[in-house]
């Protein structure tokens, strides 16, 4: 599947925030609120399309971090954080490798990459490991969900 990166629009943001993932991935569900719309508008979010259809997104920097991770010193300087999501009906369909490659090809940085992933998300973890990410630490949020910090740094 060929993907293209587009500027994030309010329409795409509203669509993404309306996506509903099944359990246990429902952790990634959001709502369309003024706060969430502002989050997408004020941070580096990008829409990912296939044949003009929205299929996912990614973000970089602070927007890609789980805020409570700061309590555990999970985000030291010197990395570029990335976050990503694929439309729920497309997950688990074998498109992850080309989706991730499209994202990585669009990112220009001299820093190692870092991402945060729920420890139960084995599909995503396997994909990230395929691209050279390695688990370096873990922390739990207030809801007792555990996350791995993964980086491309050796």
Q: For the chain, which residues make up each domain, given as ranges?
A: 4-108
Please write the tens of the pLDDT for every residue from 10-27: 999 999 999 999 999 998
Q: What is the pLDDT, as a whole number, of residue 154?
A: 66
pTM, 2 dp: 0.92
The string of DSSP codes covering 3-34 is -EEEE--HHHHHHHHH--PPTTGGGG-----H
Give yes or no for a contact between 103 and 82, defined as CB atoms under 8 angstroms apart: yes
Q: What is the pLDDT, as a whole number, of residue 98?
A: 96
Question: Cα 1 vs. chain centroid, distance in angstroms?
Answer: 19
pLDDT band at 133 (very low <50, low <70, confident <90, very high): very high
Interatomic CA distance for residues 147 and 141, integer angstroms? 8
């Amino acid at each position: 599947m060929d993907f293209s990166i587009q500027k994030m629009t309010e329409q795409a943001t509203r669509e993404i925030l309306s996506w509903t993932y099944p359990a246990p991935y429902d952790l990634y569900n959001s709502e369309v609120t003024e706060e969430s719309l502002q989050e997408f508008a004020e941070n580096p979010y990008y829409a990912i399309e296939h044949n003009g259809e929205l299929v996912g997104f990614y973000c970089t920097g602070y927007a890609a971090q789980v805020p409570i991770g700061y309590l555990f010193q999970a985000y030291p300087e010197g990395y570029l954080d990335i976050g990503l999501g694929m439309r729920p009906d497309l997950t688990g369909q074998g498109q992850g490798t080309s989706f991730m490659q499209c994202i990585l090809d669009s990112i220009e940085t001299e820093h190692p990459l870092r991402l945060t992933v729920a420890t139960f998300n084995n599909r995503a973890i396997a994909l990230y490991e395929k691209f050279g990410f390695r688990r370096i630490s873990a922390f739990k949020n207030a809801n007792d969900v555990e996350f791995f910090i993964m980086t491309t740094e050796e």
